Structure 1
């Protein structure tokens, strides 16, 4: 979650405007408005030092309590309302409960709205209100109907000022996104004016004074202030693009959807222009500012992706980091990092368009997959160990492969008959052999892969696996990456091509190993950003893989017992059978698990 604070405006770990008032030591017993504000700032800074975990959460909660008391003493102070709203927004990251998230977001939005009442042109408040509305729109679409009913009850009791009560979650989300986009536009106008003023002042000073007579530290400071302002403007454009992308996927008509996608792309084009303006980044080497690298030039991305898929699958090993993080990170706004952020959003936009295109037409658009992949490769050219880009690449390639391996009706075959699978006869699962509808049967320039869909699917999955493994080298205890590796090895084991059949035993074993590592990394519940739902999902996926491996009956029972001890119920399995079990869990396995759980 991105938080903009008052001093620098580009990071939730930077200081707010009121942190300039920080005293040399803590106030023992706050009594006045100023003392409550100072204590809130001190507590918030302690939360920032811990970043994540229970200690950070407790400090943020205490800071929120101080700001709340300060607001009661002076309810019309915009800085106090802003700080309180921002801390409430930060606390959203510390809960997995949709109802708690929505409650915090409602309170945060209310404080930001109040702050704008007294300071309507504050760019930071405009930005954060827009972010909170965007996050609220995401959450109300994701949580269960039961949680939605509870939230409606909460809103009627505590949120009567919410203008978006009533209507379906999608309708409410669309309205919130539209308001967020308008707020981002207002924020951008203010930041653009400030940036133009700063550039004008810099040019005037350059004309009037001899730069060599200025102290170097002062010159560097002025340059960095200009880069900081440019970075803030880029953040706003990226966030506006994200909101437009979400709205484009949400609206019903194709025409409106395409219009919003175009607007989202325009924001990123403007952002790239700012990122490549030498006047705004005077201290950066010229070769570091190219945004077209990998986008329009060089070897076609798909040729690289499909050209070297391995035939044999290497066994899974315990992940150990081979990458040393920098001991300290600079707060300096980096042009290279901003360019990476822009291309990440370009990729997200194109991935969303790919999903929307399939939803509207039932066809796989390989050209959109290619373009999205090219933007990720720009990021990885700049930062080869960029974990988010690597995971996005793995997800994209996996989705691409899955799209090609899906039957025309878009339904993945079940696992019926798996226990009778015979590698010699090749009977059983027949995933990936149908003539799938696709806009472009072959993305290879020379046509060498044309008509060989199983080979392309295998190589896309292999490239996706490599991307996740590279990300795992950087973050070897990342539960989500380990789970992704389990998922992708399982998906590859279902393919019916000769190379998949040859490697099926290794693929199943690897899937089991990665699910086990994922479970070991989060089983005590201490891992951040891993909720009970994900832990239960890992255990079910692991049990499903074990069922496909002969002689694992006792292990299956052990994993399912653990799943039940962690809160898994028969009702949950019934819900999976009644709805969509997802891309990984197969209906046949869910039926099997339900029978087994009833015996436990």
Structure 2
């Protein structure tokens, strides 16, 4: 009888790579592991490769603690790993360690533009995280290896400490810009008209690359200035920082439009293409709401293999930051004056429409547009009467909804003109922007959640068109929250536990507003409790405000239902 497997040649075990022993071998292995992490980009495999690369650099640094390249590589990998965790404590620990390595690298190579830039980026990210997390508790849990010097223990509120770090980051970006500017000027001089040769194209690519990194530094400096402008106390200082942030982008746009820095066949900037779309913002008719369907990607785009720095892509990056700056200004202006600045909203939208004129399926620009339009609509709706949960609970059937304006509504519910129509149209535009983004990324949990949020917000409007479409709006909100939860449950990346719980609470709130969904409400709230929801969380919401989406009466309802 033939034995199982007989006739098959035995496979020899794979030969294990030799373990690194020298500084050079540790560095080489670290670089190889980094490259593997870059190929996977996201997910556990990428994270593991980056962690292994960090371990290699750590061992190399122990053998040669004064090598600036090793310290820089180690710091950069630690900074990359920040994107692979959702825990504020772990983020701060990685950021502190990364910042310490970058500072050490500068001790041995003080004019290294890459190190200056990355240290500034790490400080900017650190400033963002500490505003949502009290680092004093973190310091007690970790040893000195995770701190980054006296900056880490500055007195004051999280906002004050963040402002201090942002100011340092801005100074670092300035130093980096000065070095990169000199390098660009030098590259321009070397690329002056010469006889055509085989290296002409290579020199042009190097010139474009130098222009690209200069633009990146200016954009990052503008981002830090924008964050600082929103944090500072006085209106005057805020305005000054916003102005500085805008000036950085003006310089960047000048670099992007300098024909001498880019290949002659590069696409021209079309700063006027997006204006028509922005002008048509409020021209939408009041169509009925279509039912939500299972998101499926209908868009495919070939991946370019060309690594040449693109003038068009850099131009879009600049306009995305222009929009972010103006959006921040709208929030700060409302905080200072209590008024909606529609002019700032319109200008911000124009920059996004420029990006979309280049790339109609640019997910970041589409989501930014949806957020901006939604915020604009929410701001205007704050001055209009809205439907309360008590009103929704009184509805007995869909047939009575259109005939029953809210009891609290003292304003006209006509939707054909005035502010109610404007609010409805802005929300409709925001919905379309998110739906376009969903066509490109149908499993994007955040987009699905945004669509749930926006349909819920529209269902609370008191205009006649909102009353007419309320059943479909509520049903769509429920469907999108369900899709978002299924995406979480299926292992979507970059979704933390807080977002999962927010989705479940928002879903339960919508189900409560729909007739005959009592059992589903209980089921979803129990699921929320299973994934980590606590009584203290709900009580904190009641004390501090539930937020833009969750209403306080629903939070009270959930507290009694789940923990009674």
| Length-normalised TM-score, structure 2 | 0.93
| Alignment counterpart, residue 429 of structure 2, candidates 456, 460, 463 | 463
CA deviation profile, 1:128-156 (whole Å, cap 9, x unmatched): 0000000000000023x4xx342232467
Q: Does 1:263 align with 2:241?
A: no
- The aligned counterpart of 2:347 is 371
Q: Give 1:425 shift.
A: 4.4
Supply the RMSD in Å over aligned alpha carbons: 2.1
Q: Give 1:375 shift.
A: 0.4
| Alignment counterpart, residue 233 of structure 2, candidates 230, 233, 252 | 252
Structure 1 unpaired stretches of 5+: 1-24, 436-448
Residues 379 and 122 (structure 1), Cα distance of their counterparts in 2 relative to 1, 3 Å cut: same
The CA distance in 1 between the partners of 2:252 and 2:102, in whole Å, is: 26
Structure 1 window deviating more from structure 2 (566-575 vs 193-202): it is: 566-575
Within 5 A, what are the aligned runs for 1:316-327?
Answer: 316-327=292-303
Residues 424 and 77 (structure 1), Cα distance of their counterparts in 2 relative to 1, 3 Å cut: closer
- The aligned counterpart of 1:508 is 474
The CA distance in 2 between the partners of 1:462 and 1:493, in whole Å, is: 12
Q: Give 1:433 shift.
A: 4.8
3-state SS of paired residue (1:289): coil
The CA distance in 2 between the partners of 1:229 and 1:590, in whole Å, is: 53
CA deviation profile, 1:397-455 (whole Å, cap 9, x unmatched): 000001000038xx9775234311452543437589599xxxxxxxxxxxxx9961100
Does the 8 Å CA contact 1:477/1:521 hold for their aligned counterparts? yes
- The aligned counterpart of 1:12 is none
3-state SS of paired residue (1:47): helix
The CA distance in 2 between the partners of 1:253 and 1:353, in whole Å, is: 14
Does the 8 Å CA contact 1:431/1:495 hold for their aligned counterparts? no
Within 5 A, what are the aligned runs for 1:172-187?
Answer: 172-187=161-176
Residues 110 and 291 (structure 1), Cα distance of their counterparts in 2 relative to 1, 3 Å cut: farther
| Alignment counterpart, residue 450 of structure 2, candidates 473, 484, 487 | 484
Structure 1 window deviating more from structure 2 (388-397 vs 149-158): it is: 149-158
The CA distance in 1 between the partners of 2:394 and 2:416, in whole Å, is: 33
- The aligned counterpart of 2:359 is 383
| Alignment counterpart, residue 335 of structure 1, candidates 311, 316, 319 | 311
Within 5 A, what are the aligned runs for 1:109-508?
Answer: 109-143=99-133, 145=134, 148-154=135-141, 157-158=144-145, 159=147, 161-165=149-153, 166-203=155-192, 206=193, 209-211=194-196, 214-215=197-198, 218-285=199-266, 288-294=267-273, 299=276, 301=278, 303-407=279-383, 414-421=388-395, 423-428=401-406, 433=411, 452-508=418-474
Residues 167 and 455 (structure 1), Cα distance of their counterparts in 2 relative to 1, 3 Å cut: same
Does the 8 Å CA contact 1:519/1:539 hold for their aligned counterparts? yes
The CA distance in 1 between the partners of 2:323 and 2:76, in whole Å, is: 29
Residues 486 and 278 (structure 1), Cα distance of their counterparts in 2 relative to 1, 3 Å cut: same
The CA distance in 1 between the partners of 2:230 and 2:270, in whole Å, is: 26
The CA distance in 2 between the partners of 1:241 and 1:484, in whole Å, is: 27
Q: Give 1:332 shift.
A: 1.7
CA deviation profile, 1:4-53 (whole Å, cap 9, x unmatched): xxxxxxxxxxxxxxxxxxxxx99511111111111111111111111111
Q: Give 1:69 shift.
A: 0.7
Residues 125 and 387 (structure 1), Cα distance of their counterparts in 2 relative to 1, 3 Å cut: same
Residues 429 and 73 (structure 1), Cα distance of their counterparts in 2 relative to 1, 3 Å cut: farther
Does the 8 Å CA contact 2:277/2:353 hold for their aligned counterparts? no
Q: Does 1:63 align with 2:53?
A: yes
Q: Give 1:311 shift.
A: 2.4
- The aligned counterpart of 1:584 is 549
Q: Give 1:293 shift.
A: 1.8
Q: Give 1:172 shift.
A: 0.6
CA deviation profile, 1:379-404 (whole Å, cap 9, x unmatched): 00011000000000000000000100
The CA distance in 2 between the partners of 1:57 and 1:339, in whole Å, is: 31
The CA distance in 1 between the partners of 2:330 and 2:469, in whole Å, is: 30
CA deviation profile, 1:447-498 (whole Å, cap 9, x unmatched): xx99611001000000000000000000000000000000000000000101
- The aligned counterpart of 1:3 is none
- The aligned counterpart of 1:13 is none
Count of aligned pairs between the two proteins:
543
Does the 8 Å CA contact 1:86/1:128 hold for their aligned counterparts? yes
Q: Give 1:369 shift.
A: 0.3
Q: Give 1:300 shift.
A: 7.3
Residues 293 and 565 (structure 1), Cα distance of their counterparts in 2 relative to 1, 3 Å cut: same
